[in-house]
Structure formats: C-alpha cells, structure tokens
Structure 1
Amino acid sequence: MAKGIREREFQNLMIQWSLPMGWDFTAGRSLSRETTQTVIVGQLRDAIVRLNPGVIDGFDVHAVVEEIVATVNAVDGGLVRANEQVLHLLRGRKEFRDADGVWHALKVIDFEHPTTNTLVVSDEVTITVPGKTSRRFDLVYWVNGLPLVVIEVKSPTAKSAWAEAAREINNVYATEYPWFFTPNVFAVASDGLKLRFGAVGAPTNLWQPFRSTADDENLSGQADVQRSVQLLLNPATILDMLANFALFATSGGGADQKYLPRYPQMEAARLVHERVLEGGSKGLIWHHQGSGKTLLMVFAASLLLADPRTDSPTIILLSDRLHLVRQTSGKFTSAMGDAYFHQPATGGELRSLLADDVRGVISTTVHKFADAGKNLSTRANIIVLVDEAHRTQSTRSASLAGQMRAALPHAKFFGMTGTPVKNLATDTFALFGEETDPGRVLHRYSVSRSLLDETTVPVMLDPHPVSFEMNDQALQEEFDQFADDFDLDDPDREALSRKFGRLTSVFSNPDRIHAVCQHIVDHYLAGAYRNGLKAQVVTYNRELAVAYTDKINELLAGFERLRCSPRSGSMTGSPPR
C-alpha cells in the first residue's frame, strides 16, 4: 500500500480513538483561522469570557486576547524559554490589568473540568508566512484555540520510523515555525507500531513511550499505540502534564531545558500526593535503577507544595550522599525556583530549620540527623522523600534512620529505591511499605517494563573465570606451624582460623590480585580501549578497590612503556587511565 495512504489511514485511526475522550474533529482546512495564525482567536476569546464570570466584565476582552496572542508569537529568547512563559500564562499565573487599573489572574483553561474546555483535533493543519515554505502538521490537538499537541506520523517502512518523525518536528517544523510550538505541552511521533512523546527540541533518545504499569507488558504494535493514545491524549492527561508536570530548567548556565515526566514518574508522584491527602504515613516506590527517581521526587514535591490542602508542608528530600543532594537540589531549584528552598550545611543548621518550623523544601543527607534528639518537630505535615531508601535506613533505633524518625515522630516517609532490602538489619518493605499495599509497595516499575520502554538497556553477562589455585594443604601446614609457635589452644586456633579463613583472605592474596588485574587489563586493551570505550571495575570491598587500582595502574604503566618502545609496533593513541 502506498506510503501516503498508510499514513492517512493511521491519522484517521488516531482521530477515531480520540473522539470518545471528548475531542471534536474539525478538518484543518475548515478551522476558523488564517494559515498564518497560531491561535484560533474566536475559541480563545469565548473560553476567556466563559471561564472568568464576574471578572471579565471589567476588561477589554479584545485587548486581553491580543496580549495572549502576542505572548504566543514571541520567541526572541528561544523556544524553550518562550514555551515556559506561555505555559505560565496558560496555568493562570499571568495577571492582566482591567479598565480600573486593577490586576487580575485570568483563567485561560479549566484544569479542574478538562472536558468543559473547547477540545478540537484537526488533521492536515497548514502554517505559512510570506517568504517561508508552508508546512502541514499531520494532527494538532487544540484546547480553547491553542495548539497544545502536535503529532507527526510516518509509515512503518523503515526501522525507527517514529524517530524520523520526531526529527522532522524538531529540525523542520519547530525550526521554521517556532511560534506554533510556544503553547506546546508535548509533541508525538508515531509510525503506527510505536509511539513516542517528548518536548519539542529534545533529542530523540529523550522521547519516551506512554503506557500504564497496570497494563499487560506484552501489549505491542498497533494495540500498544492505541492504548498509548487513550492514555496520553486524554484531555485530563494533557492538562495534568501542563499544570503539574512540565518543568523548566537552566543547565549549568547553558541552554534552557524542559523536563517532561515518564509515565511511571507521573503515576508514582500522583500516588504519593494522594496518600498524603488521605492521611497515610508512608509508602514504598520500587522503580528500577535509572528510571529517574530524583526527578520523581521533584514532581512529587511540586504537587505537594502547590496543593493548599497540605497546609504549607515541609518536604525533606533525603539522600545518603552529598553528590545526590547536589543533584536533587540542582533539579529542584532550577526547575521550580529557589523560593522556600533550604540546603543546610551542618546538622546544627538542619536542627534549627526544623525547630523553627520552617516550611518549603529541605535537601539534606541522613547523616545530619545524627544526635538530633527526640521530638525535634512534632508536626504531621512533614513529608520525607528518601532517595536510595535501601541504604542507611536500618530498622535499628540507634541507626541514623532511627534517630531521624525519633526527631520527626509524626512525619510521613516515602522511600524510593531500585533495590529494596529485607534482612536482619534492614527491611525496606516494613520501614516504608503500608500493609494494605500489595506486597507493601505503593508503586512498582519493574526491570522488565524498563527494558520494554528502552529506559534502560539489558546487561549482558560474559563470565571470564581467572585461573588461580591455592595449595590448601600447604596453607593448613603453615597455619598449624604458626599456631604451634605461639602455643595457641584449641579455641584460639578455631577463632583465628575463622577470622583468616574468610573469603576476603582469598580475595586479598597478592598473587590472585595480580592474576585478576592482568586479565582485566588484557581484556580492556584488546576490546574496549581499541573502540574508544571506558570500563568500570567493581570489587568486594574498599581495601580491594585500592589494591586493584594500584595493580592496574602498575600494569598500565608497563603497557605504556611497551607502547612507546621503538619495537612496540604501530599502536597509537593516548594511554588508558
């Protein structure tokens, strides 16, 4: 079947799937707009009048609409920054001055009742201006006359055809007509078999599927795409993402960045918010490593801070390592601003903040709760979001976690982890999980779903046994001789044997260290190094990490001397480090 027919057929399918969710279809050529216009002005004007009864009477509605359209069309600071300003306006946070000079925030969209907005889906929407090539968008989803979602469809004739659709949105449409994307919440690319959504301008590796953790993992092909349309293009989802989950940041003084949530982040953040409103005291979020738990904490915190029902809470973003604190703090302050944000430098500063009943966000490590004492703050609207919740969160009352809980006896605790632990010292499920939650887990994003979503890549295990032998009989004879020399009795012999007969004694044998490190260096130089790749070595403990480092450096130094020798052949390149 011809390429154009396939694409048009799929466009029609997406329209059919959208109609039951409250969208009305209007063909692009029949829209009440000029092809030069981004906004359907009549629909926007009607929405402003309808959504602001009793207030709008004091306004020149025509002037308000003109101001909004001018804001939409302004992209001087770059598309991402313009997108942030327009979404700020659409969230109802921009004030307009009435005829008496009084400022009012006006509603542009009804977020509480999504289907009461004017919802239109259109195909073949043309945009053009004099001197530019006209472009035609496959599908546009309009809310109150504003284009919130743009979709590009490709025929599934090539591998990753959806990625070509995403690149066309980024490199052609948004480049040539950036003002059409200033109201954009997200864009969608699909080839009929796969669907991905992302922020306009974001590289394709950041475009994500949108699914549900409650659905069958085996859903694929067109059925998977249909389900994604039902979930992602539901008016409630689009407006929820606009109101609560589209965050903006400036990365290291560089280009502006827009963050959109992955579907498990959105689900989990909502569940944390709901659990707090219901009066629950805890919850365990079990998400596979690399799924974005730091950003999940930021999304959850933003929901809690924005909701007046939480009564101005204190939210503690807790990590066990300083670099994680900096990572979380950077995401939070850049995405949401530094108002009401605190990062205490010492345990004393942390205690002062809590004792003084400070509200907002505190980003800190669990170690700063050492010697915090009991009942430092007895408020119930303190919410602790714990990153890497399987670490430092011991069940023992004398632990740092125990001291933290004693200091905050009525706080609510939510643990985020990819590897929950259950042993004699720690039970992540008991510490954070409600008994009424299935398996004591509030939300689960499994490794299998993560692989299916291509959020993470599979780890391929390639065993490389290193030949190493120890003479057990000779070792035993040496030990017996040592014990005899020091006249050890049987209990002392047994205790000493247990201590030095552990696995660590074998691991720390110098000959074995040399054999293992030689194998690592040979394997690295033969493969990863030649391909310009890096390598990571994991050891049993810190002492072995130091020993391996010294030995690997020694062996690499030998390789460098050989490489620089006139007899070493033609190998070139920088020495590995």
Structure 2
Amino acid sequence: MARGTVELDEVERPFVAQLKAMGWRHVHGSELSGPDDQRAYGDVLLARRLGSAIRRINRVSGTGERWMGDADVDSAIGELRRAACNVATKKLKDVNSDVTSLLLSGTPATGHEVHHQGKTVHVQYVDWELEGLDDAEILKRNEFLVVDQLRVRAADGKDVVLDLVLFVNGIPVVVIECKSPDVKDPIGKAIRDLRAYCGEPLDDDVRAPHDRPSGVPELFASVQLLVGASGDEAALGTITSTEEHFAAWRSVTPDYDDDAALVRALQAVRQDDGRRLLGDGQKLTDQHRLAAIVLKPRNLLNIMRHYVFEMPVQTKEGEPPLTVKAVCRHQQYRAVEKIVAKLRTGRTRLDPAAEDDERGGVIWHTQGSGKSLTMAFLARRLQSSRDPELNRFTLLVVTDRRQLERQLSAAVRVSGRPVRIAKSQADVEGMLRRAGKPGGRAVIFAMIQKYLGRIPGLVGETANDDRDPSVEFVEAQERITDGGAAEEAADPAPSEDVIEKVRRRFSECSTSPYVLVLVDEAHRSHSSVLHACLRDAVPNAARIGFTGTPIMKGKLHDTGRIFGLEPDDKFLDAYLMDEAERDKVVVPVRYEGRGPGPRT
C-alpha cells in the first residue's frame, strides 16, 4: 500500500534499523532485479541466495565437504517452488503446511554416489543448529535478509508492494505491514491488509474487492509470521490469525533482564547516520520489544521450529473444527525458555553436593491464559531440539481433570510429539521404566486419580471436571474471613500417615535424570502426596508445577518445597490477571468476596 512520510520515518525505517543492528542485511526491493539476484516480479523465492545456502548447509558429515552439484540444488529449489505453486488449486493453509514441513525436515534426495553410497538423504533449506552457537556463527550459517518495498506480481497482473519481507536463505518467512500511527486503528488496518495479501481477506473486511490489495498467496506459502506495526504498537500473528488473535509482544525476558536493559542496548547502537537506535528521552515501544525478541535471528529460528504449529479450533457447536496456524504469545515463550534454561543449568540429585533437584519451579499463569499450549510448546521445544541434552527428556504430565487431560493431550499431539495416555498406575510405571532408554522418549499423560488411586479427603475416584479453581479460591478466602487457618483454607493437608500409606504402593521405575514431571494445579494438597510417590518412582526427575489459581499463604511454602522457588520466594514465571486483561487474553472478571483474605 502507498506509504506516507510518517509511516516511512517513524515505523518502517526504525524497524529496518533495529533489524540491521541484530545482523539482518538490508536491500531495497528494486535492487533484487539487478545482476546479483536477477529476480523477476513473479518470483517469490530468491533463487540465487537459496541455492548458495543449500550448498553451504548440506555438507558431508564428518569431513564438511560440499557435495551438491547444480542439478541437485536446482532439484531442491524446484521442490520448494512446486509446493508453493499449489496455492493455485489448494487452500493457502494446506500449502503452507506442506511447505513448512519442507523447511523443518528438508526434502528427500539421492545422495552423492561416493559420500552417501547413493542412499536417500534429506536436503535442508535452513541450518537449524542453535545450541551452543554464538550469534555470529548463526549469522554465518544462514542468511537473514530484510527487503523493503518488495514488488510482487499478483495472478490478476497487478503489482503488489509489500512494506517489509524477511527472508531466511532466500525464503520469505515474515511479512511486516507498516502503518502511520496517525491513522485511525493502524494495527487493525495493517492486519486487514496482511490477510488481503494472503488472498484470504478477513470476514469483517468491508472494503470492496477493488479497494483491497490484490492477493499474492504464493509468497505466503512459506511465511511463518505476520506482523502489523505502527511505531508505538506492533502485533504478531500468522496467515490464519483473525484480528483478535494478533497479539502484542510485551516481554523482553529472558534475552534482557527488563525493559531498562533493552533501552540501554538500543541506546548503545549507532545507525548509519550516527544517530542512536533509541534516542535520549525516546520511549521503548511494543514495536521495539517485538523486533528485539521475536525477530532476533536466533530467536526467529527457535520460534519457527518450536513455537508455531497447527491446531484444531472449535468455532461453532456441531461443526467440524477449523485448523489454524498458532504462534506462541509472549508469556508462553518466556516461560518455556526459562524452563529450558533451568534444565540446562540446574543441578540434578546426581550432581556432587546437590541435595535436591534444582531444575524445577512454579509457572503461575492466570486462568484462561493458555497453560495447556504452554505445555505443548514446552514438549515441542524439548523433543524437537537438536540438542541431545534436551530432546531425550520423557515428560510426565499429571492433572486431576479429564477435560484438561483431553485439552493438554490434544495440544501436545498437534505439536507433533508422541503422546501416551496412562490408564492406571501400572501403565505409568511401565512407561516410565523406558525413560532415558532408546524409544522411551514421549509425553505421558496420567490422571492423578489413576496414578495415586483414591485418597480419602484428597483424591476421589473420578475426575474433578466440575471444579472451578477461581471459585474455590473465593470460597477459601471466605473461610479465612470466618476464622479458618490459611494453612487449611484451600485444601486439607495430608497427614504423614496418609503419605506413607500411599508411598508403599510405589516402586522405583527410573533413575534417569531425563524425566520432567509437569503437574497441573500444583498448589493443591495432593501435590505433596504425588511428590512423595514420585521421589520413589523417579527420584532424579525434574519437576515443574503449573497453576493459575491464587495460592494461599499456607500453600506457598509447600508448593515451593516441592517444585522450588526462585530467590525471594518468587515463581519461575508469573503472568498475572492484570497483564492478561491488558493483553486481552482473558475477559476482565471481578469476584466479590466478604473479605480480601491473604493471597500471594
């Protein structure tokens, strides 16, 4: 779309400058038709750059020799190009799914007759190695290119000009639409234009077809992320996201300690004209945050590989679910990366001088903020990792609600991870015995009723599907107001006799440290019984507790003892109700109790 001076000066150019500071190369769209790239307006791949990347990435294991000839490279590019061209006869989301599989897994090809003995190998388009590499090495292995004002010829013969397109190895993976902050609803306008460019306008886009930009769906066949930006604001989505599912990115951790640290980093960078990337007195914006975290080359590859996947969404009762392409929100990415960091750096019980496992923690994300997807992203982050220290983990997910078990298992299954549902304690123990062994890697789901069995006053015989954690908290507050003890208000604490009686049912299953236990509603009293049993069954496992219910004072100590708290009794990650309301993740809800009661 046509751009004005404000859009160019306050949105597009600052965005490009920040990308360049992180290692992105920049060219103007018109330059791609020159002798170096020889791109025609109908080309969506930068074939020369892609060919160079394919030769560079695909080498003989051990020797590092390049083996692909021109014909091999042309064949690999042809596979990607043919898959993208299918938008002429198939839905964009289906074509995008096929192309994404090629990007993640590569395309099969006949290997070198000497080096591979003619066996089938998978030719890779992207070097996904991230672990243990510094940023400079990642920039050497892949080419990160931002192109402004990219002209693309649509099927109707009209030329469409895209504000910013981000290419990795000559493949378009991010499209950014910039709007002046002076126009009304700039982010909404950007999103509507992005979806029109995809060839699939939003239902509420009331513009006449001739007033909308023409669609160029072939370019979006490989695109993983869409960004609408207006300088102060920015929102992240995918090719299937409706306007309400585009979201701001408001976290700067774990890359930066806080906003102030990002401000200092931006102020330290000088642009080509000598000006600072963030001038004195200039405020930090959501555009700065999104660019700094999501579009940092290392993080972009991480997000593309682990934090974007397809999932079914029920839109109307009685109708089949729609498949959408989901991307993480900032709190989900932040929490998962913190868990990964602790798994890497925390001591296990097998380490010298370590009395307890130090890789655990509590994730406190308010109800309705997507904890099930956070677990799914975690499963994908670990088991799709190229790092053997991460991808060998067996995950055990324990919940007390069948409905939540179904939600969690569905979310993890669509992430591409093997899922096993345990029907009994014997099932769980049999699956855990395979942990840390070949073929034992999986995500295991267990209902606490099936795993622990009935414990009078703590665990019933059936799932607690009717339980509403938010209502339970209000009721607990009222019991405290009436004189009840905070330690007993939320749940009755199990006695040592009860714990010991249940423990006698369990035996050791695995001593592997590559077991990660995820416990939903981790503040509840049955967690202490579960903890004791798991210490016997998987003594060297790491434990992460998830909850979104306010934890009563009496439960904080016990929850921290089981899962571990950070210094100053802090959770590993917290996403509070006011943050979720600001992000429009949940609808504002206010509970009126008879007294405030203590809460943490």
**Retained in 2: the 8 A contact 1:96–1:106?**
yes
Indicate whether 1:152 and 2:177 are aligned: yes
Measure the CA separation in 2 of the matches of 1:244 and 1:319. 24
Matched AA of 2:168: V
Which amino acid in the other structure matches residue 419 of structure 1? T
- In 2, the alpha carbon distance for the partners of 1:164 and 1:288 equals 30
Partner residue of 2:403 out of 323, 344, 353:
323
Matching residue of 1:513: none
* Structure 2 equivalent of residue 4 of structure 1: 4
Partners of 2:100 and 2:222 within 8 A in 1: yes
Matching residue of 1:378 = 511
Name the % identity: 26
Tell me the equivalent position of 1:226. Answer: 288
Partner of 2:343: 276
Q: Measure, in 2, the Cα distance between the counterparts of 1:205 and 1:428.
A: 39
**Residues of 2 paired with 1:233 and 1:313: CA distance?**
28
Superposition deviation, residue 317 in structure 1:
1.5
What's 1:243 paired with? 305
| 8 Å contact kept, 1:430–1:440 | no
Structure 1 position 30, deviation (Å): 1.1
Equivalent residue letter for 1:135: V
Could you tell me how far 1:179 is from its partner in structure 2?
1.5
Unpaired segments of 5 or more residues in structure 1?
Answer: 466-502, 504-577
What pairs with 1:402-481 in structure 2 (closer than 5 Å)?
402-419=532-549, 421-424=551-554, 427=557, 429-434=559-564, 436-460=566-590
**2: CA distance between counterparts of 1:234 and 1:168?**
24
Query: Could you say what secondary structure the match of 1:202 adopts?
Result: coil
1: CA distance between counterparts of 2:391 and 2:155?
53
Q: TM-score, normalised by structure 1?
A: 0.73
Q: Distance in 1 between matches of 2:391 and 2:152?
A: 46
Structure 2 distance, partners of 1:433, 1:354, is 20
Report the Cα offset of residue 228 of structure 1.
2.5
Report the more deviating stretch, 181-190 or 400-409: 400-409
> Cα deviation per residue 1:117-166 (whole Å; 9 max; x = unaligned)?
22221111111145343211111111111111101112223443201211
Task: Write the deviation string for residues 165-189 of structure 1: whole angstroms up to 9, x where unpaired.
Answer: 1111113444322221111120100
Per the alignment, residue 42 of structure 1 pairs with 48
The separation in 1 between residues aligned to 2:565 and 2:228, in whole angstroms, is 41
The CA RMSD measured in Å over matched residues stands at: 2.9
Equivalent residue for 2:467? Answer: none
2:93 to 80, 87, 93: 80
Paired residue type of 2:100: L
Quote how far apart the aligned CAs of 1:115 are.
1.4
Q: 1:206 aligns with which of 245, 248, 254?
A: 245
Give the match for residue 273 of structure 2.
none
CA–CA distance in 2 between the matches of 1:56 and 1:438? Answer: 55
Structure 2 residues without counterparts, runs of 5 or longer? 60-64, 131-136, 201-214, 264-281, 315-319, 348-357, 453-501, 596-600
Q: Does 1:114 align with 2:115?
A: no
The residue correspondences of 1:131-170 to structure 2 (distance < 5 A) are 131-170=156-195
**Shift in alpha-carbon separation, 1:269–1:169, aligned structure 2, 3 A:** same
1:11-54 CA distance string (max 9 Å, x none): 12211222111112111111131110110100000111111233
1:3 Cα shift? Answer: 6.8
Q: 1:57 to 1:201 in 2, by over 3 A?
A: closer
Matched, 1:335 2:452: no
CA distance in 1, matches of 2:550, 2:592: 26
Q: Give the alignment of 1:479-518 within 5 angstroms.
A: none
* CA distance in 1 between partners of 2:408 and 2:367 (Å): 16
Give 1:201 shift: 2.2
Paired residue type of 2:304 = L
Q: In structure 1, what is the equivalent of residue 443 of structure 2?
A: 361
Whether the aligned pair in 2 keeps the contact of 1:17 and 1:229 (CA below 8 Å) is yes
Q: Which amino acid is 2:383 matched to?
A: L
Query: Offset at 1:198?
Result: 0.3
Q: Secondary structure at the match of 2:218?
A: helix
Give yes or no for contact 2:233–2:285 (8 Å, CA) kept in 1. no
> Contact (CA 8 Å) 1:289, 1:418: kept in 2 or not?
yes
For residues 163-178 of structure 1, the aligned pairs below 5 Å read 163-175=188-200, 176-178=215-217
Q: Tell me how far apart the structure 2 counterparts of residues 222 and 401 of structure 1 sit (CA, whole Å).
A: 43
- Corresponding residue for residue 21 of structure 1: 22
AA aligned to 1:19 is K
Are 1:70 and 2:82 matched, yes or no?
Answer: yes
1:130 and 1:107 map into 2 onto residues whose CA distance is 29
May I ask how many residue pairs the two structures share in their alignment? 459
Is the aligned partner of 1:103 residue 2:120?
yes
Q: Give the direction of change, closer, same or farther, for the CA distance of 1:355–1:239 in structure 2 (3 Å limit).
A: closer
For 2:370, the aligned partner's letter is G
Identify the structure with the greater helix proportion: 1
Partner of 1:89: 102
Check conservation: 1:211, 1:231, Cα contact below 8 A.
Answer: no
TM-score normalised according to structure 2 size: 0.70
CA distance, structure 2, for counterparts of residue 462 and residue 379 of structure 1: 47
Q: Note the alpha carbon deviations across 1:38-88, whole angstroms, 9 max, x for none.
A: 101000001111112335336622222222222233234422232222222
Equivalent residue of 1:184, what SS? coil
Query: Over alpha carbons, which structure has the higher Rg?
Result: 1
1:57 aligns with 2:190: no
Q: Is the 8 A contact 2:231 2:285 kept in 1?
A: no
User: Aligned partners of 1:432, 1:132: CA distance in 2, in Å?
Assistant: 64
Secondary structure at 1:22 match in 2? coil
Conserved in 2, the CA contact under 8 Å of 1:194 and 1:221? no
Structure 1 position 424, deviation (Å): 4.5
Give the distance between the partners of 2:307 and 2:218, measured in 1 at CA: 22
Q: Is the 8 A contact 1:248 1:336 kept in 2?
A: no
- 2:333 maps to what in 1? 266
Give secondary structure in 2 for the equivalent of 1:38: coil
Residue in structure 1 matched with residue 225 of structure 2 by the alignment: 186
CA distance in 1, matches of 2:580, 2:258: 14
- The alignment partner of 2:422 has SS state of coil
